[in-house]
Amino acid sequence: MNDPTRNDIFEDANGVQIAVKQLYPPNALGVCLVEYKNLSDSNLRFMPKEQFLECFHWVDNFGTTDTFVKIALQKEEQKAAEEEVPESEGAPSAESAVDEAIKPVQSDELRTAAPTRSS
């Protein structure tokens, strides 16, 4: 890939992954700068485009590693799979599944529940 764009993930020879934040247009000297940051820290770094392409190779695009997109696609696949599978006679009905979901919480379950936030 010879033209890095925003949110592209690149990797160097040591396996350190970086994300491209911005590609600047050529300045008065004709040098294009690439603004990027390591995925392991938040420091922004700049490098000329030619030097950047010598040091890094393209790995992925951040959009394909977005967890929200993956979860949404999984939910759509599950929904489609559930619609395709007809209910059998021995399977519990949807009403009984709702009744189980609404059952009152036992006091033992409250005591053993894990905290949702770290203190």
CA distance 117 to 119: 6
Q: List per-residue pLDDT tens for the chain, 119 residues long.
A: 567 888 888 899 998 889 899 999 999 999 999 999 988 888 899 999 999 999 999 888 766 555 555 566 677 788 888 877 655 555 555 555 555 555 555 555 555 555 566 55
Which pTM value belongs to this model?
A: 0.50
**Rounded to a whole number, what is the distance in angstroms from the first to the last CA of the chain?**
44
